[in-house]
């Protein structure tokens, strides 16, 4: 009985991790083309119209050196994780009213899964992990 309960608990813990791992980075690279007009990622990434996105997850919003953020973004209190990023990329202006990001958002959840998988490949130094 105890082993069975432990097995159920472990399965429940594994569900969110499995759901988070559903994205395909190769497909996400194609989705990133929608972002590429404003954002860069990778070893030679620089701030452009938007900040570079290396090491995005775990980073505080408004914290990339050398990029001039809106007050709304700097003061949002956001620490980027998959959940917050999903909400933001789906509708940036709804998640952070006053953001200067003009992008209307990505509505397809699978595209967002793939985009997350692609972005998560890049560490803070821009190298693929």
Confidence grade of residue 10 (pLDDT, cut at 50, 70, 90): very low
Stretch 5-16: mean pLDDT = 43
Residue 57 burial by Cβ neighbours in a 10 Å radius (0-12, 13-18, 19+): middle
Please report the pLDDT score of residue 55 as a whole number: 97
Please report the pLDDT score of residue 4 as a whole number: 46
Q: Residue 39 is encoded by which pair of tokens?
A: 């954002």
Which segment of 6-15, 48-57, 98-107 scores lowest on mean pLDDT?
A: 6-15
- Would you kindly state where each structural domain of the chain is located, as residue ranges? 23-119
Q: Which residue in the block uniquely carries the two structure tokens 């594994």?
A: 14
- CA angle (119 as vertex; 114, 123 as ends), nearest 5: 150
71 vs 16: which has the higher pLDDT: 71
CATH of domain 23-119: 1.10.760.10
Residue 16: is its pLDDT beyond 90?
no
Q: Using an 8 Å Cβ cutoff, are 61 and 74 in contact?
A: yes
Please give the share of the chain, as a percent, with pLDDT higher than 70: 84
Q: Using an 8 Å Cβ cutoff, are 126 and 44 in contact?
A: yes
Please report the pLDDT score of residue 5 as a whole number: 45
Please report the pLDDT score of residue 41 as a whole number: 98
* Predicted confidence (pLDDT) per residue in 84-124, tens digit: 999 999 999 999 999 999 999 999 999 999 999 999 999 99
């Amino acid at each position: 009985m105890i082993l069975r309960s432990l097995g159920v608990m472990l399965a429940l813990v594994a569900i969110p991790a499995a759901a988070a791992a559903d994205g395909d980075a190769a497909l996400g690279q194609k989705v990133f083309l929608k972002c590429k007009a404003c954002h860069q990622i990778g070893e030679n990434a620089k701030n452009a119209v938007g900040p570079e996105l290396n090491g995005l997850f775990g980073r505080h919003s408004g914290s990339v050196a050398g990029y001039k953020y809106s007050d709304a973004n700097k003061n949002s209190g956001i620490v980027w994780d998959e959940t917050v990023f999903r909400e933001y990329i789906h509708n940036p202006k709804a998640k952070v009213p006053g953001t200067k990001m003009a992008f209307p958002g990505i509505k397809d959840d699978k595209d967002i899964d793939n985009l997350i998988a692609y972005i998560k490949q890049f560490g803070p130094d821009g190298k693929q992990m």
